[in-house]
Amino acid sequence: MGSPRIRQLLELAATLSGVIVYTSANGFMTGGLAVAGRQVGVSEIEVGAILGLGALVGVVIAPLWGYAAEIWSRRKLMLLAVPMITLGPAAVAIITAHSALLPMAAVGFALGAARLVQAAFGAASIPVAQAFIANMTTPDHRVRGMGGLSAVVSSGTLIGSALLWVTGRFGVATGFAAVASFGAAACVLVFAFLPDAGPRMKLQPGETALPLVRISPYLLITFVGFISYTLVPPIFALRLMDRFGQEGGTAAAQTGFVLTVGVLAVCIAQALIAVRSNWNILIMLRAGAAGILLGLVMLLMATDLLEMCIAMGVIGFSVGFIAPANLGAISLAAGRGAQGKVGGLNMAARGLGTAIGPVVGTTLYSMSVDAPIYGSLVLVGILLVMTFLVPARDGRHLVVSAADNQSFSKDTLIWRDHRER
* Section 374-390 average pLDDT: 91
Q: Judge whether 27 and 161 are in contact, CB under 8 Å.
A: yes
Comparing C-alpha atoms, which of 26, 258, 57 is closest to residue 154? Answer: 26
Q: Do residues 15 and 194 lie in contact, with contact meaning Cβ atoms separated by under 8 Å?
A: yes
Q: How far is residue 66's CA from residue 69's CA, in Å, rounded to a whole number?
A: 5
Q: Give mean pLDDT, residues 34-51.
A: 75
Q: Within a 10 A sphere around the Cβ of 260, how many other Cβ atoms?
A: 25
| Nearest residue to 56 (alpha-carbon basis) of 267, 361, 357, 373 | 357
| 289-294 contacts at long range (C-beta below 8 A, 24 or more positions apart) | 289/318, 289/322, 289/380, 289/383, 289/384, 289/387, 290/318, 290/384, 291/315, 291/317, 291/318, 291/321, 292/228, 292/318, 292/319, 292/322, 292/380, 292/383, 293/377, 293/380, 293/381, 293/384, 294/318
Give CA–CA dist 130/70, Å, rounded. 12
- pLDDT digits over 102-130, tens only? 777 778 788 888 888 988 898 888 888 88
**pLDDT, greater one: 39 or 116:** 116
Count of CB atoms within 10 A of residue 15's CB?
A: 25
Q: DSSP class of residue 420? A: -
pLDDT value at 380 more than 80: yes
Query: For the ranges 274-278, 311-315, 330-334, 367-371, which has the lowest average pLDDT?
Result: 274-278
Q: Average model confidence (pLDDT) for the chain?
A: 80
User: How many whole angstroms separate alpha carbon 164 and alpha carbon 253?
Assistant: 6
Question: Alpha-carbon Rg of the chain, whole angstroms?
Answer: 21
Sign of CA dihedral 377, 380, 385, 386: positive
Mind listing the pLDDT tens digit for each residue in 318-341?
988 888 888 888 888 887 777 888
Distance between CA atoms of 185 and 14, rounded to whole angstroms? Answer: 10
**Are 392 and 71 a contacting pair, CB within 8 Å?**
no
First-residue to last-residue Cα distance in the chain: 19
Burial (CB < 10 A; 0-12, 13-18, 19+), residue 13, is middle
Query: Are the C-beta atoms of 22 and 85 separated by less than 8 Å?
Result: yes
Alpha-carbon distances, residue 26 vs 46, 202, 218 (angstroms): 17, 37, 23
Q: Tell me which H or E stretch contains 339.
A: helix 339-365
pLDDT digits (tens, 9 = 90+) for 158-171: 788 778 777 767 77
pLDDT, residue 417, reads: 38
Burial readout 288-315 (b: 16 or more C-beta within 10 A, e: otherwise): bbbbbbebbebbeebeeeeebbbbbbbb
For the cut 60, the answer to whether the pLDDT of residue 413 exceeds it is: no
Pick the residue with more confidence: 99 or 242? 242
Fold of 211-397: Growth Hormone; Chain: A; (1.20.1250)
Measured CA to CA, the distance from residue 184 to residue 178 in angstroms comes to 10
User: How many residues comprise the chain?
Assistant: 421
Q: Where are the domains of the chain?
A: 1-194, 211-397
Topology match between the domains 1-194 and 211-397: yes
Of 291 and 394, the structure prediction assigns the larger pLDDT to: 291
> Average of pLDDT values for 183-193?
92
Rounded to whole angstroms, the Cα distance separating 76 from 82 reads 10
pLDDT digits (tens, 9 = 90+) for 192-248: 988 775 445 566 666 677 788 888 899 999 999 888 888 888 788 788 888 877 777
Q: 1-194 — its CATH code?
A: 1.20.1250.20
Percentage with pLDDT > 70 across the chain: 88
